[in-house]
Chains A and B, each alone.
Chain A
Amino acid sequence: MSRLWRWLIPLATVPVLALLAYGFRANPRDTPSPLAGRPAPRFALATLDGAPLALEAHRGKVVVVNFWASWCYPACYEEAPVLERSWRAYRGRGVVVVGVDIQDKPEAAQKFVRDFGLTFPNAQDPTGTVSVDYGVYGVPETFFVDRQGRIRVKHVGAVTDDVFRETVDRLLAEAAKP
């Protein structure tokens, strides 16, 4: 074998490595929801403070429905401050964040809300019907509902500032158009 040819041995690994690197492009967390584009299922629950909480009451606003639980560690613990922060930033612009606590004990849920100082409405789903309606697989899952009351985006896993901002800005922008 000539001098140059032998250097092909290490180079032969390059395509394999490139293929593996390509794997990072795909995101296995992108879960298409069969509900995307469909009207968001209605619900009427009571918040942890006892106030009524109904999805219809917020028709015309962009609604972020977040399913969580106090035992959902660490993802729900990561996103709770994000949701609170985003809610404070966007509440004046026609955006509502709604938390639905599933399969949880009331005391644990109240402690969670207190610990993170959550000010957006949070309700328990004691019978589990709301999470079944939304097809929730696990917590946290977050549904972004547009002003017409349709589910537009389903996000699996903790919501980040970027995800919240990009999704909500998009929904706000298109709703501004007639």
Chain B
Amino acid sequence: MTADLGFGMTLVALVLAVYGGAAAGVGARTGRAALVESAQHAALGVFVLITACFALLTYAFLTFDFSVRYVATNTNLGTPFYYRITGVWGALEGSIILWSWMLALYTMIVVLRHRSTARELYPWALATMLGILAFFLLVMTVAAPPFQRHTPVPADGRGLNPLLEDTGMITHPVALYLGFTGFTVPFAFAMAALATGRVGDAWLALTRRWAIVAWYFLSLGLLIGGWWSYHVLGWGGYWAWDPVENAAFMPWLTGTAFLHSVMIQERRRMLKLWNISLVILTFGLTLFGTFLTRSGVIASVHSFTQGAIGILFLSFLALVLLTALGLVAWRWEVLRSQGDLDSVVSRESAFLLNNVLLVAAAFTVFFGTVFPLLSEAVRGVKVSVGAPFFNQVNVPLFLSLIFLMGVGPLIAWRRASLDNLARNFLWPVVLGVVAAAAAFVLGVRSSLAALAFAAAAFVLATIALDFGRATRARLRAGESLLPAMGGLVRRHNRRYGGFVVHLGILIIALGVTGSQAWSVQTEMTLRPGETAELVGYRVRFDGLTAVEESNHFKVVGAFTVSNGRVLGVLRPAKKFYPQEQSPIAYVDYRLGLKEDIYLVLGDFARDGRQATVKLQVNRLVSWIWIGGAVLTLGALLAILPDRRATA
């Protein structure tokens, strides 16, 4: 019953989306406003129907309605309330619903915001968005139907993947998908620009804020994913260059490039072709990411199932890329640049270099991710390149990007004079060198870490210099200190939002550098009362206890941690789920600004007489999450309405 109702609603939504997309397209071509209006109603209908589907599926989860196949596969009678809600998008079918729902939501916001402000571009953008929605609804009806009847109705379900029983399950997919789907809006307006031939600034102005929102959510999704990996998976890391992580990272890189190159088009009327291509590339990569994670083409720790869905996604990816790039070729003449690069030493070229580096990073990640396929196709052997390849290629790229982060915002447009360079960069360079020297004196022997610190000090100094100078100018105009600073940030929110985001990235980079360079670990088998030692920490094994939870059985180890004085008891555990073949580790940790103490329970004797424990001291990891908070502040600041336009 539930299954039939849900399936019926999906089908109606699909029909509406197809109709709406076609109506908006025809309306845009012929200029018939009534058709576009009808498409808007269709969009509203699609939104309402998908919302209803989502609510219905959630209801089925909450009431243990095992007559729906998807519910029976992803929950059981022991699943706690919270995970019955997050379990809705815990697997393929439900994640596609969440995805479609967000896309429909964005479509509604586009209708509400741009209906009357962008008369030429809007109908085409609406047609594009409804077309993409139609694709996802097609997936929901044929390839991965969440509403499928199931007989005989099992007495109990299989249960959620235990690794997904984490509080991050509510934020991580939501943020990531908001990021992924968010890039649909700039893409839709880019398609509108190509269709109408209005490839000037209008579509950029309309989508700039959208791009920042999408970029921000993608960043947040990546960071929460890192946090999940760090505190759930129990290997002490937050990033593994896993194909699924790469899938989200590639559009982040090209999206970042787009956010920067937009500014050159706004200022100098250059890079029209480049900007359109970046948007197409970014959207294509979000689809590619979904394809990668949902098709099983490349093995990964968290790839879902395989089947018809892969072929469907690949066909859609082909359709999108060929259409979009075909339009680019068609509009070639108007996309050609008007401005020219005046000098190599200018803000334009700094931004250009930033773009080249970001796209190069995206390309290496892409290459490394599909390398197993490539090697199998060429040599017949599946070979993965793994983390060493990614690190080796990307670390220099990222270091250069951080350096450019200091150069870009301060260097002059068009042509930077020696005077301009000295005025802006003399002190930051000096500070960078001092930071490297200080790091060396303090005992940092990793040249990579020293370089990272130097670059960070340099960027920090440029930000401080710029902000200090602008504040001083306001002070001279008679304002007092705090209102001067506040007013500055409010009036130039986009610029200072950008600075704060840079600051956040810088803090994250320091956390990554520190944790890579200085984390230490050891593994020991202990009897009760024995201790393990690592860099001044003593960990005493106190014993094992067994706990029966609603849907699993848990063996908990108690370890007293001290460094001269007792810091507390950590309780890492192993969780045994009946539906899983191997136990799931449950990490316990104590976070600190300087270092985290991180314990993973290994094998143990059933009688509790001994247990193996992995003890890690991870340096500076917390700064990654702090950087995420700073980045959030900056992104918020940057998307505030632009005061300069109205004031």
Does chain B have a CB within 8 A of A86?
A: no
Does chain A have a CB within 8 A of B325?
A: yes
- Compute how far the CA of A178 lies from the CA of B373 in the bound complex, rounded to whole angstroms: 43
Knowing A13-B325, A137-B581, the reply to whether A20 touches B291 (Cβ < 8 A) is: yes
Interface SS of chain B:
helix
Within 8 A of B (CB), among A58-113: 71-74, 77, 103, 108, 111
Within 8 A of A (CB), among B318-371: 318, 321-322, 325-326, 328-329, 332, 370
Kindly list chain B residues whose C-beta atoms are within 8 Å of the C-beta of A71: 156, 158, 578-579
Does chain B have a CB within 8 A of A28?
A: yes
- Compute how far the CA of A116 lies from the CA of B154 in the bound complex, rounded to whole angstroms: 11
Q: Which of A2-10, A32-40, A118-126, A142-150 participates in binding chain B?
A: A2-10
- Compute how far the CA of A23 lies from the CA of B328 in the bound complex, rounded to whole angstroms: 28
- Compute how far the CA of A72 lies from the CA of B321 in the bound complex, rounded to whole angstroms: 41
Does the CB pair A17–B317 fall under 8 Å? yes
Q: What 0/1 pattern do residues 142 to 155 of B give for CB contact below 8 A with A?
A: 00000000101011
Kindly list chain A residues whose C-beta atoms are within 8 Å of the C-beta of B332: 1, 6
Does chain B have a CB within 8 A of A26?
A: yes
Within 8 A of A (CB), among B282-341: 291, 295-299, 306, 310-311, 314, 317-318, 321-322, 325-326, 328-329, 332
Q: In chain B, what residue has the closest Cβ to A74?
A: B73
- B157, B296, B374, B382 interface centre (most CB from chain A within 10 Å): B296
Knowing A10-B322, A74-B158, the reply to whether A21 touches B314 (Cβ < 8 A) is: yes
Knowing A28-B299, A71-B156, the reply to whether A19 touches B374 (Cβ < 8 A) is: yes
Q: In chain B, what residue has the closest Cβ to A112?
A: B154
- Compute how far the CA of A72 lies from the CA of B579 in the bound complex, rounded to whole angstroms: 7
Does chain A have a CB within 8 A of B1?
A: no
Pick the contact of A28: B150, B296, B325, B370 (CB < 8 A): B296
Pick the contact of B318: A7, A13, A72, A111 (CB < 8 A): A13
- Number of contact residues on B: which range applies? 35 or more
Does chain A have a CB within 8 A of B494?
A: no
- B156, B318, B329 interface centre (most CB from chain A within 10 Å): B329
Does the CB pair A74–B72 fall under 8 Å? yes
How far is the CB of B292 from the nearest CB of chain A, in Å? 9
Does the CB pair A7–B329 fall under 8 Å? yes
Does chain A have a CB within 8 A of B441?
A: no
Does chain B have a CB within 8 A of A41?
A: no
Q: In chain A, what residue has the closest Cβ to B156?
A: A71
Does chain B have a CB within 8 A of A138?
A: yes
Q: In chain A, what residue has the closest Cβ to B329?
A: A6
How far is the CB of A137 from the nearest CB of chain B, in Å? 6
- Compute how far the CA of A23 lies from the CA of B295 in the bound complex, rounded to whole angstroms: 9
Does the CB pair A115–B152 fall under 8 Å? yes
How far is the CB of A77 from the nearest CB of chain B, in Å? 7
Does the CB pair A17–B299 fall under 8 Å? no
Does the CB pair B328–A9 fall under 8 Å? yes
Q: In chain B, what residue has the closest Cβ to A4?
A: B329
Kindly list chain B residues whose C-beta atoms are within 8 Å of the C-beta of A22: 373, 376-377
How far is the CB of A29 from the nearest CB of chain B, in Å? 8
How far is the CB of A112 from the nearest CB of chain B, in Å? 9
Does the CB pair B321–A13 fall under 8 Å? yes
Q: In chain A, what residue has the closest Cβ to B73?
A: A74
Does chain A have a CB within 8 A of B69?
A: yes
- Compute how far the CA of A74 lies from the CA of B149 in the bound complex, rounded to whole angstroms: 13
- Compute how far the CA of A127 lies from the CA of B243 in the bound complex, rounded to whole angstroms: 39
Kindly list chain A residues whose C-beta atoms are within 8 Å of the C-beta of B157: 73
Pick the contact of A10: B72, B291, B298, B326 (CB < 8 A): B326
Knowing A13-B318, A24-B297, the reply to whether A111 touches B370 (Cβ < 8 A) is: no
How far is the CB of A19 from the nearest CB of chain B, in Å? 6
Does the CB pair B314–A17 fall under 8 Å? yes
Knowing A137-B581, A138-B581, the reply to whether A73 touches B373 (Cβ < 8 A) is: no
Q: In chain B, what residue has the closest Cβ to A23?
A: B297
Pick the contact of A74: B69, B321, B322, B326 (CB < 8 A): B69
Does the CB pair B158–A17 fall under 8 Å? no
Does the CB pair A17–B318 fall under 8 Å? yes
How far is the CB of B87 from the nearest CB of chain A, in Å? 14
Kindly list chain B residues whose C-beta atoms are within 8 Å of the C-beta of A21: 314
- Compute how far the CA of A7 lies from the CA of B327 in the bound complex, rounded to whole angstroms: 10
How far is the CB of A163 from the nearest CB of chain B, in Å? 15
- Compute how far the CA of A7 lies from the CA of B329 in the bound complex, rounded to whole angstroms: 6
- Compute how far the CA of A20 lies from the CA of B152 in the bound complex, rounded to whole angstroms: 38
Does the CB pair A10–B325 fall under 8 Å? yes
- Compute how far the CA of A175 lies from the CA of B581 in the bound complex, rounded to whole angstroms: 36
Kindly list chain A residues whose C-beta atoms are within 8 Å of the C-beta of B158: 71-74
Pick the contact of B155: A13, A111, A116 (CB < 8 A): A111
Knowing A17-B318, A73-B154, the reply to whether A26 touches B329 (Cβ < 8 A) is: no
How far is the CB of B212 from the nearest CB of chain A, in Å? 27
Ranked 10 nearest A-B pairs via Cβ: A23-B297, A10-B325, A73-B158, A6-B329, A13-B321, A10-B326, A6-B332, A138-B581, A17-B318, A9-B325
A and B contact pairs by CB, cutoff 8 A, 12 listed: A10-B328, A13-B325, A17-B314, A17-B318, A20-B291, A21-B314, A24-B297, A71-B156, A74-B69, A74-B150, A74-B158, A116-B152
Please report A residues at the B interface, Cβ cutoff 8 Å.
1, 6-7, 9-10, 12-13, 17, 19-24, 26, 28, 71-74, 77, 103, 108, 111, 115-116, 137-138
Q: A19-B373, A72-B158, A73-B157 are in contact. List 11 more A-B contacts (CB 8 A).
A: A7-B329, A9-B325, A9-B328, A10-B329, A13-B322, A20-B297, A20-B317, A23-B297, A23-B298, A73-B73, A137-B581
